[in-house]
Chains A and B, each alone.
Chain A
């Protein structure tokens, strides 16, 4: 086969871009089969208790209403592994917003009006949605998200901390945060001769297929789930969410295709959110800045429906050398909506707290915070003792500092005044694990016309998966990239892992690489003209995914920020934000840059604008829509820069890639909070840094 220049690392334009800019790309709710009905869910209006009566008469009397599903008559489902999917199965209300009924009607307007006519009576029970540092329900979690141990101890924390010449002891808090992908969770379901087909807005259709099959007592071949275009997810579509189960039930009951797009205001209660955290960080060091002791103790909540522990203390086990360490998670099960994955679960809140504490230590010791971090660079992963497969944090810090113009820098705070503005700079490090979240399978086929077809159930949630998989295939086949056809986004394809954990490309790409390599071998063994159907090879990476590595494998990064603080309005604005990353080989710099900028933008929201609370009286989130929950807007973003180090790591996968979906968010909030301190001299340890808090501290 003629060698083509390897397209790996080329900034190719995303393949589905044209469909997206013309409006031709169809998302889950944009399929309208003939006779399609529309569903509208009814959320519970109490925070805990049970349903005592449901009056659906008025709703059913409206012309055009086909059905109202409730726990009294909805199809019985097999018990799910994830109990948030056990919708309309019993009379329990575990949290406010839990779905208690579903209306199905001819049109959206009728379905919505009928949902207002469903009258539900409850027997409320006292509820508790308030996370406090001394909550009596707190217990030490055995496991944190990602199956990491909840608690790790090394050395003798108490003694070492007591003996440390320089210490920091600070507590950082963050509210619940919401993923809010632009496309609300949606499903269009239909049953045809016992086969269930669903267009679902999901980060992984194979898992949705498997879960639906189990819930409805079907074989996997009886279910097809299609997630062709997905309008973002950021973790909230990582596993099936209630809408897909509800749509499938409604289609089963009515015998019609049913479309269900969740209303934006209902999303916070039913699709998962980042749990709030209270994090106490204690650092002890020598006067020269050698860390001797580190503790990060995380207090958070889970719900009563299933367990989820935001693993915010996990990244501290990776970052800095310190002979004595304690990292643990305390969690209480409250009557709250189910928390779940939100971009860099664990790392984003955990590194916010840790990296602010490191900054506080640097200030305490009057050491440059870049130098303090470099001084505490470990030889091996502190928690496990395993060598790093690659670790270029020092290079990220140094090169980032150079590009940002970090030095010269007067370390004293609150000195740079421009009229009403105070200006400052800050730095933070970032880390995110390389995780092969699971194996994937792929098929590669050579056609007689010289083209190739790659089939793998990858999901493109905005990452450019199609494009990068074509690049991987082209490189392995030695074929021009434009000769490769990519089929993704359907559970009928060879199974793939979800687009999550920054691990999609590694898993799908490895399978594609393996199948393409096998195809090349087969084409060598069977020379001559191809049969009309071409020749194919399949491969999977289940073995590779199950293998353990002797290496600690993580991405690293360094974030630098310059902020201005308006002393009159309390407004914090970002002048510059620079990210320098070491994340293995970057396979497509164009789409990679976009993802990294996107992560940093979400981190900016976490630091400055995104805020929500649980109302203790009603048990509801206080900011449910996009008018009250402030995600960053265009005018918030100035001077974002992204750079990376060409990192060659042979211990990952054939592409040498680590994954880039999450590292961008990780260090952003700490860099901004540290810059805020440098600007003002105020340590505000409670995100987000909104004007109300800023003004209070500036005047105090």
Chain B
């Protein structure tokens, strides 16, 4: 496998029973609970795409280099190609499919459309999930490389265009939609203050943790 990275805040010993090289896990994705036996080698990305038919998260590199597979794990963005599915037991997972509220698009999805912040669309779900994570990280006071040195520790970071560029640089876009992506995320950052944009969608957020 490419990586045996364990996600931060490990869940300890899985509740599920190991059966040979597969174990049963409970995956909570976009508010729906799935119980399934997964190959120990399977990444979260492959399980989402090949087992659950949630193909919104994309496989661009399978090595954590491109960000196309970005999903939210307990509200934080992560490269799902670097997570073993078997280690996600009980975690709250949100993919791009979980962002819209029925027919009502998430504000970030609206902004990406309105700004034409996409071309081929392959990186787009990862960009949108990553933007959601970035907005929340900034609101939670996580600094980035471009955050001023004298910023108050732990205070919400204002999402300037430079902050957006920096925080979105883990998501590659070969079509070159970057300026539009910065605009789209910028359109939504105002809403972040009210909590709308950081909402991971009604289905994901509505689920009890």
Task: List residues of A whose CB falls within 8 A of some B CB.
Answer: 13-14, 16-27, 29-30, 32, 38, 107-110, 113, 179-184, 229-232, 234, 261, 263-265, 461-464, 590-591, 593-595, 597-602, 625-627, 631-638, 640
Which residues, 27 to 73 on B, are CB-close (under 8 Å) to A? 39, 41-42, 46, 49-50, 53-63, 65-66, 68
State the Cβ distance, B203 to closest chain A Cβ, in Å: 13
Which residues, 11 to 27 on B, are CB-close (under 8 Å) to A? none
Q: With contacts A18-B113, A231-B58, A234-B174 known, is A113 near B122, CB below 8 A?
A: no
Whole-angstrom distance between the alpha carbons of A290 and B59 in the complex? 53
Supply 17 further A-B pairs (C-beta < 8 A) apart from A23-B54, A23-B55, A26-B55. Answer: A13-B113, A14-B118, A16-B121, A19-B121, A21-B109, A22-B96, A23-B96, A180-B174, A181-B174, A264-B62, A462-B119, A597-B176, A625-B65, A626-B63, A627-B63, A633-B170, A634-B169
Whole-angstrom distance between the alpha carbons of A463 and B177 in the complex? 12
A108 contacts B116, C-beta separation under 8 Å: no
B56 contacts A108, C-beta separation under 8 Å: no
7 contacts between A and B (CB under 8 A): A24-B97, A181-B120, A594-B177, A627-B63, A634-B168, A635-B166, A636-B178
A462 contacts B175, C-beta separation under 8 Å: yes
State the Cβ distance, B79 to closest chain A Cβ, in Å: 12
Residues of A within 8 A of B169 (CB): 633-635
Q: With contacts A231-B121, A626-B63 known, is A13 near B116, CB below 8 A?
A: yes
Residues of A within 8 A of B168 (CB): 634-635
- B155 contacts partner chain A, Cβ-Cβ < 8 Å: no
Residues of A within 8 A of B87 (CB): none
Residues of A within 8 A of B125 (CB): 21, 23
Whole-angstrom distance between the alpha carbons of A230 and B122 in the complex? 8
Residues of B within 8 A of A598 (CB): 119, 175-177
State the Cβ distance, A59 to closest chain B Cβ, in Å: 16
A109 contacts B119, C-beta separation under 8 Å: no
Central interface residue in A461, A598, A625, by most chain B CB within 10 Å:
A598
A-B pairs with beta carbons under 8 A, tally: 186
The residue that B58 contacts in the complex, of A22, A32, A183, with Cβ under 8 A, is A183
Whole-angstrom distance between the alpha carbons of A625 and B68 in the complex? 14
Cβ contacts B122-144/A at 8 Å (1 or 0 each): 11110010000000000000000
Whole-angstrom distance between the alpha carbons of A24 and B96 in the complex? 9
Q: With contacts A635-B169, A637-B178 known, is A626 near B120, CB below 8 A?
A: no
Task: List residues of B whose CB falls within 8 A of some A CB.
Answer: 39, 41-42, 46, 49-50, 53-63, 65-66, 68, 95-97, 99-100, 105, 109, 112-114, 116, 118-125, 128, 164-166, 168-182
B181 contacts A634, C-beta separation under 8 Å: yes
A21 contacts B42, C-beta separation under 8 Å: no
State the Cβ distance, A453 to closest chain B Cβ, in Å: 23
Q: Is the interface of B mostly helix, strand, loop or mixed?
A: loop
> Which residue on chain A has the smallest CB distance to residue B119?
A462
Residues of A within 8 A of B176 (CB): 594, 597-602, 632, 637
A182 contacts B55, C-beta separation under 8 Å: no
Whole-angstrom distance between the alpha carbons of A595 and B114 in the complex? 16
Central interface residue in B122, B165, B177, by most chain A CB within 10 Å:
B122
B165 contacts A264, C-beta separation under 8 Å: no
Residues of A within 8 A of B164 (CB): 634
The residue that A463 contacts in the complex, of B60, B99, B119, with Cβ under 8 A, is B119
Q: With contacts A20-B118, A591-B116, A635-B169 known, is A184 near B175, CB below 8 A?
A: no
> Which residue on chain B has the smallest CB distance to residue A16?
B121
Residues of A within 8 A of B119 (CB): 232, 462-464, 591, 594-595, 598
A182 contacts B165, C-beta separation under 8 Å: no
Q: With contacts A597-B176, A634-B169, A635-B166 known, is A462 near B120, CB below 8 A?
A: yes
Whole-angstrom distance between the alpha carbons of A636 and B50 in the complex? 34
The residue that B172 contacts in the complex, of A16, A182, A230, with Cβ under 8 A, is A182
> Which residue on chain A has the smallest CB distance to residue B129?
A23
A183 contacts B60, C-beta separation under 8 Å: yes
Q: With contacts A13-B114, A18-B105 known, is A23 near B57, CB below 8 A?
A: yes
Q: With contacts A18-B105, A22-B100, A182-B60 known, is A637 near B120, CB below 8 A?
A: no
B50 contacts A32, C-beta separation under 8 Å: yes
Whole-angstrom distance between the alpha carbons of A626 and B170 in the complex? 11
> Which residue on chain B has the smallest CB distance to residue A343?
B174
State the Cβ distance, A9 to closest chain B Cβ, in Å: 16
> Which residue on chain A has the smallest CB distance to residue B49?
A30
Whole-angstrom distance between the alpha carbons of A698 and B112 in the complex? 42
B122 contacts A21, C-beta separation under 8 Å: no
Residues of A within 8 A of B118 (CB): 14, 17, 20-21, 462
Residues of B within 8 A of A635 (CB): 165-166, 168-169
A631 contacts B59, C-beta separation under 8 Å: no
A601 contacts B122, C-beta separation under 8 Å: no
State the Cβ distance, B190 to closest chain A Cβ, in Å: 19
A21 contacts B116, C-beta separation under 8 Å: no
Whole-angstrom distance between the alpha carbons of A461 and B173 in the complex? 13
Central interface residue in B49, B56, B97, by most chain A CB within 10 Å:
B56
Whole-angstrom distance between the alpha carbons of A17 and B110 in the complex? 10
Residues of B within 8 A of A19 (CB): 121
B120 contacts A183, C-beta separation under 8 Å: yes
A462 contacts B121, C-beta separation under 8 Å: yes
> Which residue on chain B has the smallest CB distance to residue A110?
B39
Central interface residue in B118, B121, B179, by most chain A CB within 10 Å:
B121
State the Cβ distance, B165 to closest chain A Cβ, in Å: 4
A-B pairs, top 9 by smallest CB distance, nearest first, are: A23-B56, A231-B122, A601-B176, A462-B120, A20-B121, A598-B176, A462-B119, A23-B96, A30-B55
B120 contacts A634, C-beta separation under 8 Å: no
